[in-house]
């Protein structure tokens, strides 16, 4: 029988030799790029997903995220280094299992941890001696030790002895071609020092650096602090924009000038509201946990309130700008540019476009949208289909509302043709104006 040292040493050797078999549960924005990074470094990786349609798409070499091209996916499939599967039997044959499943909010705004529980249950049910399990899903502090660890213990696992368990937050920014998964250092916190060392050895094969921290709880908090930092600073920029509007000053001009300070300042810009699976969601995981500890996370609550009020502010901007042109919002023709939550991606989760379009339609506006990344967009009572930004559509619209500054949009041409542009992304700054432009 292998000793503890043998178990950890054997896995370290397999990791260093790239002979360790990897299974990555959840093949979405996070799990697929991670699987591709490990496969490209020489590991054999199985991407597991409970969605058969997603697995079929991936098995045909079609990527579902902007961070992985279908060409590289197809090459890895052909070389046998990556496979997509719904067969969880593969877990028992894997040396390393990484969990990248969603962590959304319930309607009550409390954490919905059910996807993590289902994934961990699948791993724990067939765990074998010497496996390394890493949770990457963003979650509240304590998840790994209070929720995941007992599930393995209940199956007889001895953590740090015959099973190694760690948390390592995923920090990618989908669509960011400058900082890809392989460029971003990982933070790793294991349940025991042996768990940390093994997880660290694993990630060192694909990223430039690993920051080891003293516990999974610290690693969980690192991710939440990063996203609270972003959320709060976006809220500050949003509130600052409201103040600049009242003072009739360009918000962007102020922020750009402040950003010339080489230290102590980081530029954040206002927008129509926050979206995606991270910024609107993750801080609430922390405030939920703090509430259980009798503490109200005030910055998080205020940032959330300010950011969630932005869609209503955009509605007011559109309504007032139309009014100034002698047009009521009722029956106004509005072309929305961009429904994805940020530029360059197709992700519409939590996108402020949803609330804004619904509010415009409820007030009787005739709304169409263009988004090169999102062919259809469900709104209240119907699903809208994307249209092209033709000259005819630009002339038809009483108002062009920029919600996402996708690089594919020709903003100069749009400015030259549209009668009224409401720009919530400062996409038109520095361009030559023809009609009227209102900016956040």
Ligand X SMILES: NC(=O)c1ccc[n+]([C@@H]2O[C@H](COP(=O)([O-])OP(=O)(O)OC[C@H]3O[C@@H](n4cnc5c(N)ncnc54)[C@H](O)[C@@H]3O)[C@@H](O)[C@H]2O)c1
Q: Annotated active-site positions, please?
A: 278
> Could you say whether residue 102 binds ligand X (CB under 6 A)?
yes
Of the two residues 278 and 318, which places its CB atom closer to ligand X in the complex?
278
CB 420 within 8 A of CB 399: yes
The H or E element containing residue 5 is helix 4-16
The H or E element containing residue 282 is helix 282-292
CB 272 within 8 A of CB 356: yes
Task: Determine the interface stretch with ligand X among 19-27, 38-46, 210-218, 258-266 (rule: CB under 6 A).
Answer: 19-27
CB 101 within 8 A of CB 29: no
Of the two residues 174 and 189, which places its CB atom closer to ligand X in the complex?
174
Of the two residues 230 and 277, which places its CB atom closer to ligand X in the complex?
277
In this structure, what DSSP letter does residue 92 have? G
> Could you say whether residue 138 binds ligand X (CB under 6 A)?
yes
Choosing from 12, 27, 287, 319, the residue that interacts with ligand X (CB under 6 A) is 27
Spatial separation of the C-alpha atoms in residues 52 and 86, rounded to whole Å: 6
Site string for ligand X, 255-294 (x = CB under 6 A): ---------------------xxx----------------
Residue whose C-beta lies closest to ligand X: 28
CB 91 within 8 A of CB 126: yes
> Could you say whether residue 342 binds ligand X (CB under 6 A)?
no
> Could you say whether residue 29 binds ligand X (CB under 6 A)?
yes
Choosing from 20, 22, 157, 172, the residue that interacts with ligand X (CB under 6 A) is 172
DSSP 54-89: HHHHHHTT--SSTTS-HHHHHHHHHTTSEEEE--GG
CB 385 within 8 A of CB 375: yes
Nearest-approach distance from CB 188 to ligand X, in angstroms: 15
Q: Where are the beta strands (DSSP E) in 306-365?
A: 333-337
**Which residues 52-81 are close enough to bind ligand X by CB under 6 A?**
54
Of the two residues 118 and 325, which places its CB atom closer to ligand X in the complex?
118
Choosing from 28, 61, 271, 280, the residue that interacts with ligand X (CB under 6 A) is 28
CB 191 within 8 A of CB 165: yes
Of the two residues 181 and 314, which places its CB atom closer to ligand X in the complex?
181
Please report, as ranges, the residues that interact with ligand X according to CB under 6 A. 25-31, 48-51, 54, 100-103, 115, 118-119, 137-138, 170, 172, 174, 276-278
């Amino acid at each position: 029988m292998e000793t503890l040292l043998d178990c950890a040493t054997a896995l370290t050797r397999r990791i260093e030799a790239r002979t360790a078999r990897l299974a990555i549960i959840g093949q979405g924005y996070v799990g697929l790029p991670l699987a591709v990074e490990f496969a490209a470094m020489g590991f054999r990786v199985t991407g597991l997903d409970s969605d058969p349609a997603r697995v079929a798409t991936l098995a045909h070499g079609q990527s579902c995220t902007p961070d992985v091209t279908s060409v590289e996916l197809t090459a890895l499939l052909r070389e046998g280094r990556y496979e997509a599967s719904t067969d969880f039997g593969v877990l028992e044959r894997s040396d390393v299992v990484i969990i990248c499943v969603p962590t959304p909010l319930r309607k009550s705004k409390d954490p919905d941890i059910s996807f993590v529980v289902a994934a961990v249950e699948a791993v724990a049910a067939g765990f074998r001696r010497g496996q390394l399990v890493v949770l990457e899903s963003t979650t509240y502090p304590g998840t790994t030790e209070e929720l995941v660890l007992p599930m393995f213990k209940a199956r007889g696992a001895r953590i740090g002895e015959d099973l190694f368990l760690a948390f390592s937050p995923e920090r990618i920014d989908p669509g960011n071609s400058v900082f890809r998964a392989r460029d971003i250092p990982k933070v790793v916190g294991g349940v025991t020092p042996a768990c940390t060392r093994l997880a660290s050895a694993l990630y060192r094969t694909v990223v430039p650096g690993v920051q080891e921290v003293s516990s999974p709880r610290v690693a969980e908090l690192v991710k939440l602090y990063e996203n609270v930092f972003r959320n709060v600073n976006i809220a500050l920029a949003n509130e600052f924009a409201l103040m600049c509007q009242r003072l009739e000053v360009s918000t962007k001009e102020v922020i750009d000038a402040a950003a010339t300070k080489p230290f102590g300042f980081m530029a954040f810009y206002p927008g129509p509201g926050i979206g995606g699976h991270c910024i609107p969601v993750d801080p609430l995981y922390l405030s939920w946990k703090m509430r259980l500890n009798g503490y109200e996370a005030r910055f998080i609550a205020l940032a959330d309130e300010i950011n969630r009020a932005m869609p209503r502010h955009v509605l007011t901007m559109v309504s007032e700008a139309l009014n100034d042109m002698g047009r009521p919002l009722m029956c106004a023709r509005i072309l929305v540019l961009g429904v994805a939550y940020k530029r360059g991606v197709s992700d519409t989760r939590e996108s402020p476009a949803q609330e804004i379009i619904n509010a415009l339609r409820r007030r009787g506006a005739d709304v169409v949208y263009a988004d090169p990344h999102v062919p259809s967009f469900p709104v209240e009572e119907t699903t809208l289909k994307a249209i092209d930004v033709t000259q005819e559509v630009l002339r038809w619209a009483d108002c062009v509302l920029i919600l996402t500054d996708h690089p594919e949009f020709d903003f100069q041409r749009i400015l030259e043709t549209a009668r009224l542009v409401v720009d919530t992304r400062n996409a038109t700054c520095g361009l030559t104006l023809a009609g009227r432009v209102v900016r956040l």
